[in-house]
Structure 1
Amino acid sequence: MKDTFLNIEKNRRTIYALGKNVELSNDEIENLVKDAIKEAPTAFNNQSTRAIVLFGAKHDEFWDIVVNRLHDEVPNEEVYAKTVSKIDSFKAAFGTVLFFTDTDIVKSFEENVPLYADNFYDWSEQGIGIANYAFWLALTDNNLGASLQHYNPIVDELVADAFDVPANWRLRSQMPFGSIEAAAGDKDYIQDDERFRVLGK
């Protein structure tokens, strides 16, 4: 049995200590994003996932938007200081990918395939999750780290204004990525008998 893919999965971890010591070029990372999303399956092959790749000043700008917006959400300055520290760890990364769902695509399939209309939103969420994972594994295969963040929807309008995001693109997740400056801790697993059932073996 081949286990190359499983080994990449096992090496993929949420990395918070990210840096800018990246050997891949911006173009190579851009191609990783594009290929990961293009090859990730979507319901009816509707290809509803969209992405904006942020490098350099644009990457910094996004996390500045987030940290400034969060100031209105936290109860006091002590909590905000911790929030700033957390966001600074994302800003220290090499870049960020913003993942979106094209809601026009979802609506068109709801209208044109009415038998499954109630499913297309859920399926679009599955599609974007697979795209997130595919890019994350591609990063892992290239010895880069990442984490998956969700500061939507509170930053959606600000992000749309800052990066000229089409109105039909709905922000679903953000993935800062970069060099792995400190390894993740040990990962715990629940017992297999709580998680899996094998029948007819």
Structure 2
Amino acid sequence: MTTLASTISEGFRARRSIRALTNETKISDARIEELVSDVTLHTPSPFNVQSGRLVVLLKEEHQRLWDIAYEAASASVPQGVFEKMYKPRIAAFRAGYGTVLFYEDPVPFKALEEKWPMLTQKFPEWSQHSSGMHQFALWTLLEAEGLGCSLQHYNPLIDSPVSEQWGIPQEWRLQAQLVFGKPAGPPMEKTFEPLEQRVFIHGK
């Protein structure tokens, strides 16, 4: 019997990194917006502070993002490294349909810092935990809809020009970029370390 838990678990197992993408999509832009909105509304955050900010770039806007990444990397990365690694990877990301930028807004934490000063040092860490959940949830949902995705981290290399291009507040902290599109190749190979070295259960 199929249960909700088994369906969700199947989504987790199917989620993989796919970097070979085309600029097509199997779902509508409206459906993409719906999934992003659901994840934004229902992903946990510390003290329900709701600090996650998701910026969705589609089509030409998505391409502009990776043009910016190309320009930033070519100007700051050693030429040999750029030609061998950054240039082909950025071209592959640009070939996709869209990118979701995951930000964390530190402003909502100000009230918490006043109320819970003894926890102030932990808030940045917990903020990243929440962003990670946003990333994993949306990645899984987009894969379940037939899209290929890969999670990238071109921050802080692109932070300033991206903020300027799309009017993003400077205080928002860019955490990751989820690239997606129609798969044009198989997922990356995935191997697993032994579970007995990673999962420990007491009392069963």
Q: Same fold (TM over 0.5)?
A: yes
Tell me if structure 2 keeps the 8 A contact 1:19–1:94.
yes
More displaced 10-residue stretch of structure 1: 102-111 or 142-151: 102-111
Tell me if structure 2 keeps the 8 A contact 1:94–1:179.
yes
Tell me if structure 2 keeps the 8 A contact 1:37–1:135.
no
Q: Which amino acid aligns with 2:66?
A: W
Superposition TM-score, scaled by structure 1 size: 0.94
**TM-fit CA distance, 1:162:** 0.6
Matched length: 200
Tell me if structure 1 keeps the 8 A contact 2:18–2:188.
no
Tell me if structure 1 keeps the 8 A contact 2:17–2:148.
yes
1:9-48 correspondence to structure 2 within 5 Å: 9-48=12-51
Structure 1 residues 61-99: Cα deviation after superposition (integer angstroms, max 9, x where no partner): 1100101100123222x4322321110100111100111
- 1:191 aligns to what? 194
CA distance in 1, matches of 2:197, 2:110: 38
Which residue among 78, 81, 93 is the counterpart of 1:79? 81
Q: Which amino acid aligns with 2:36?
A: V
Stretches of structure 1 lacking an aligned partner (at least 5 in a row): none
Structure 1 residues 146-170: Cα deviation after superposition (integer angstroms, max 9, x where no partner): 1111111121111111110012211
Structure 1 residues 1-32: Cα deviation after superposition (integer angstroms, max 9, x where no partner): 83111111000001101112313111211111
**TM-fit CA distance, 1:54:** 0.4
More displaced 10-residue stretch of structure 1: 168-177 or 127-136: 168-177
- 1:49 aligns to what? 52
Stretches of structure 2 lacking an aligned partner (at least 5 in a row): none
Q: Secondary structure at the match of 1:72?
A: helix
CA distance in 2, matches of 1:173, 1:156: 11
- 2:148 aligns to what? 145
Tell me if structure 2 keeps the 8 A contact 1:17–1:182.
yes
CA distance in 2, matches of 1:85, 1:186: 19
Q: Which amino acid aligns with 2:120?
A: A
Question: Runs (4+) of structure 1 moved beyond 6 Å?
Answer: none
CA distance in 2, matches of 1:21, 1:94: 6
CA distance in 2, matches of 1:98, 1:189: 28
Q: Secondary structure at the match of 1:148?
A: strand
